[in-house]
Structure 1
Amino acid sequence: MYYDEYEQYQSFRSMDDLNEAVRQALYYYADKLNKTAVTVLKLLSRYSCKVIGVSWMKAATIAQLIDKSEKTARRALKTLEEVGIIMRVPTIREKGGRGYDICVIQSVVQAEMSSREESGNERESKAQKGSELKETAISNKLNNYVIDALDSSYTPDNVPDRFISACKPFFGANKIYELWRRVSIAYDKSGLDSSVDSVLDVVIRTFKTSVFAWKRGAIRKSFAGYYYGAIYRVLIQERRKEVAAESGAFGWLEKCT
């Protein structure tokens, strides 16, 4: 397993944090989750221990474990993603083509929760019981909010300035850094002989086309996951060009000997 690669998606520092996030999700989104979606979320959390918060089970495996059809399992995953409890990141097979999705459980704390209106004695009682949970959740995630709020000038020095300039109209430092990490992973997997700086124009052009797709509503999943898949495919094409150029050079040498 590519544990090192999956670590970039780790969403929690400890299993306690993960379990707390799952409890929050089940509480806050109880009215949006059916029994199957709840079962799938709990299953994902149990299989997200190697890299905390990250699971790479195939939909067919999930279906088998919950004793449901694969279609039902996929529907539950879609529900969890649409609500915002998980993020699905597509993988690319070594021989090309889309592989399985990585499921990343997200922290669920939203400002709209504080404005949720409750009616009736039973619902008011439930809100009171959950008030301490809300305060604890907000406190635990405050640092994450601060990091996400940092502007592009805080981006680490290992990220090229040109890449930062392309990204900063849309994202802050934390997101830009995350996107560059995915570029680095895609670059390493592509096997390119050229340096990453030499393909920076391609990297930025692919980012811009991904933003265009995002703004047109063509990206249903996470932007980072979409961009990773796009940049990996482009870098593989660049590697093929290298191989073709090398083959041409060797052919020319053979004719000269």
Structure 2
Amino acid sequence: MNIETLRSLQPFPTKKELDLRVRAFLYHHKPALSEGTLTILKYIWRHSVKYPGVSFSKVETIQTKTNKSRSTVIRAINCLVKKGLLTRVPTTRPNGKRGVNILVFLTDETESLPEPEQFEVETPRETTPIEKPSPDTEPVMNKHDQKNNTTTVNSDFLPSYIPHSFISVSRSFLSHSEILSAWKSALLAYKYVNLTYPIEWYVEQINQTFKQAIFAKREGTIKKNFLGYFYGGLKQMFTQTVRKEVMADSSNLYYDWLED
């Protein structure tokens, strides 16, 4: 298959448009996808950047690189095809026999990400140690929270772009405005490094970092403000994550860790 043919199959002008398409798909369908399908989608997505949206990955290659069975790979691709994210484009060998299928991401204007609220984002700043936490920078923990840890906020009043799992983890410890500020901290830390996937892929790690920050708060080891501590933990976690992703990708022969 020549270059002109490949370019004619390219559904997106840039990788950015491809990323937005996959992120929108995940926003609508991720809860219904299995762990294996998500892993396989990650691999196909990562290897569809030379011609954005066009993947040359063979089933055997995906099977080897993701450590999944052949049946799992085929089942995952069938699932993504059925849901309208991918299509198979058959190829023909020079001898006239059928070649491997090329996987092409499909555009879909009916699936989109929700528009986030417009807000100014400020980098969390460290403040000087104080004896009593400031109500503007510290999580609200009333006596009922500290004793029973059951008082929660109503998530219906929070922006829809904040992942539900993060709200579930933080709602027992933070007010509405604090949950929003905490998620802004996560977005800032995410932008600090060059991760492979959108932030939605890393919610589990963000939740774990939040739990660690709450534990540190309860133990009295946070000498400055909570959000600053949480932000620092997120930056450290994301930096470690991007290193793991780079090392896991055999196509990355060199990496400038000084810019990390």
Q: TM-score, normalised by structure 2?
A: 0.42
